[in-house]
Amino acid sequence: IGAAFFKQFGEIRRIRIARNKKTGKSKHFGFLEFASPEVAMIVAETMHNYLLFEHLLQVQIIPPERVHHKL
């Protein structure tokens, strides 16, 4: 799942998809930053535990003070 899917909710500032360094394959998790905190909350509430492509999405809001500088 990439930015294209989540763009339907609103503007995305940053996206980071975790990948295996050796194979380049997805590790099945990532991070998104939306331009609007309100949109981020709607996405978290709407998409948490949503089944998509045989994967159960776990969506959470990360408080700004807990966001790692490399994200």
CA distance 12 to 39: 10
pLDDT value of residue 22:
96
pLDDT value of residue 1:
59
Tens digits of pLDDT across the chain (71 residues): 567 888 999 999 999 889 999 999 989 888 999 999 999 999 999 999 999 888 899 999 998 888 877 76
Domain range 3-66, CATH architecture: 2-Layer Sandwich (3.30)
Q: Could you tell me which residues are beta bridge partners of residue 55?
A: 52
